[in-house]
Chains A and B, each alone.
Chain A
């Protein structure tokens, strides 16, 4: 029982950390960069994508023995497009302001490589429960990545977080951060940071190993 729980947790953390879609696999870049001008936009986009990802993976996993191999990609795309249409109308009904802010990028969730990638690489080969857990992990990982970008860009570019002013009225906003170039720069910097951290950790492990060998 506990073993099963551990593997499920591992499956979940796979997407959240080790295979994080934004920082490790660098997939789904277009929505990542386009909607992360504020933390709220980034989180809503993450939620919408997680919903589509989970539902599509569940359906693909349930139908995996019925879908002929030759037309599988087309089938996945149609399944994904169906759920995206659902989300599209849902967001329109809940908040029109949010719908306008995210614009065409809600409909463009269809062509987010993460979703098709997960359907093809994981959900089509695993039973529903595993597929859903994995998809949830990926969705959460994607949302974390979006939030990391969105919050940094909002803080630097507008001096705010979730719409609340952080630095008082004398803060000169760094406008380029909310403009398109800022998206590239911030994601580039995050990737640099992770690469440098990985390098540092590797070196430390190497040093620790060296010490034990000497002892």
Chain B
């Protein structure tokens, strides 16, 4: 019951954020929304693990959080310096 409520909340937040990705007036809104989406996917995978019981999927949550952080930092550095690595 709690896990079903959790899934509905997470998916509703992701739909609202998807509107911000598509509409967002500046590029900063889009990067923020994509960061939010990847963090939210990691949380969603943990809730799915709790609902089904397959604990092997926990590695995928860690992978999503690492990928979201790296892509966010790379995009921000690219937009500031026009290059990722000096």
Do the two chains belong together in a single complex?
Answer: no
